[in-house]
Structure 1
Amino acid sequence: MYQPSATYRSAPFSSIADANITPAGQDNVPVIIETSHQRSVAFGLSPTATPDFTPAGKSDLSLLIEQNRLLHTHALPAMETLYQQIVNTHNMVILTDANGVIVHSLGDDDFLEKANRVALQPGVAWSEQSRGTNAIGTAITEKVPTLVHADQHYLAANHFLTCSAAPITDHRGNVIGVLDVSSDQRSFHKHTMALVRMSALMIENQLFSATFEDAITVHFHARPEFVGTLMEGIASFTPGGRFLSANKNGLVPAGPVICRTAITHFQLPVRLARLRPVRSLPHGSPRFAEPVHAQRRARVWPCAAASG
């Protein structure tokens, strides 16, 4: 059920393939890694320490899953799809809650034994406070997709890993979980992060739709073929026309203009006071959108862009 949201502050998903973390073995260690190592020292962690690998008990794990039921439900299909893209490549796919505790994981049998040795299994916490610099914990702290490769990990016990993680945020921009792909560092592939980011965005869009399932929802994009894809903008409104929230792609600079045009075209009773102003687009530029309400979907309609 939808609820009025606070202002959603989140960076737009501008480039799926973009990753700001470089693998180890290079001189230009990313600032994000250096900063994380400094935090790890401040937490009192020793790089040579053997961390506690004890997972949560069955009852605690069941409670953890129940507390994250919405995330768990909508993440599992995306995790299965992601895993099929990397199957038989010595990888595993991991979902955590907002505190970095693993909720669900799946992976190749030949990697699971190694993974279990460092507790990449449900019920184990991978926050920076407990594991030092690692993709999951650092992604939660920094709120950005994070790659931690080999000896970029703070704990020596994790140096054999390469991990690509993307935070999963709700409609308010709060981190509610992390999607991660971990593997042996010798299996590093530069495209893994892109797959993780796409899958995280898929989960976020599913969560957005579930949260606002009873709202009037406008799906829009500057190009008609992108409506209905991960790249579409989504904005939700009450039946009375009050703006509720928008997904990440709905908050890119041109998003409010395109959405306003779509609303005018469909004659929806929407007040746009909370949509931030943007630069004018060329008069008459084609924009496309479709309204969705109570699971009824209309066809894609062309409409003219607003001039201001």
Structure 2
Amino acid sequence: MTKLVLLHKADSIYDDEPDVVYDFPRSYLRAVQEAVGDWVIYYEPVKAGPRGYFAVAKIEHVIPKPGFEGRFLAMIEPGSFLPLDTEVPRLINGSPLEQALTEPDGTPKKGGAVQLAVRRLPDEDFARIVRLGLPEDLERQEASRYDPKGAEVAEKAAIFERPVLERLTRRPYRDVAFRRKVREAYDYRCAMSGLMLRNGGGRPEVQAAHIRPVEHNGSDSVRNGLALSGTLHWMFDRGLISVADDDQTILVSRNKVPGDVVDRLLRPDGKIWMPEDERNWPHPANLAWHRENIFGQMSSEDFVL
């Protein structure tokens, strides 16, 4: 197995969905096959935007792309995709983070490997990028962000530095990383009420909801998340509310949710509030899954608000 850097552009001719599939030509087949079962880092090239290294995932298997001669699909292992908490720049102090892109004097190389859409990545380069993008003390940072006392509790659980790969797979860490990215994308505003509520200490009250739950192969992509107040999160998880096939209109299980509750909790226009960055808008496939598998499934006897 080997680790890779995969270039991704939002407007690419390739059908990439970073948390689901990576579309690539035959010229990279051998390298991608070597990476099956191992981790990759997504990278946004200079002409596509400012993000640099922005997410990690694991390749599960590779298949020919149906109907496209010479194209292949790297299928991403469900639950492995994770956005970096801090997007890692291409250069630090003028030097690349990848050995293959660096001249002996530390300056960036030109041409050659720099232009490859799929690049092999040594373990030490992978670990360095992940440490920069997903700091080991992320849980402590989040716990102490609005409550200094929370840092004392988190510090006791972080006596030693956890290995990078454990960081990528441990559910509590991933939950914190997901929550931070989703709430930030929605500017700490509830997508369905439109409200931005904070408690007396300044802590945002909005939560991060998975649209397609992790236990049903949902990813930790921001596009599989909605920022919701506690009550609306509870209702969403139980299928009392969802989003229509226009990907904007809020659906309500009217026979289970009283009208006055709808009037109090939801935006007057009945549509979800979208993140400013379209790349963070909820993915239609995730909304469809929730609509088809969760919405309306809760019995009226189970509903008490």
TM-score, reference length from structure 2: 0.29
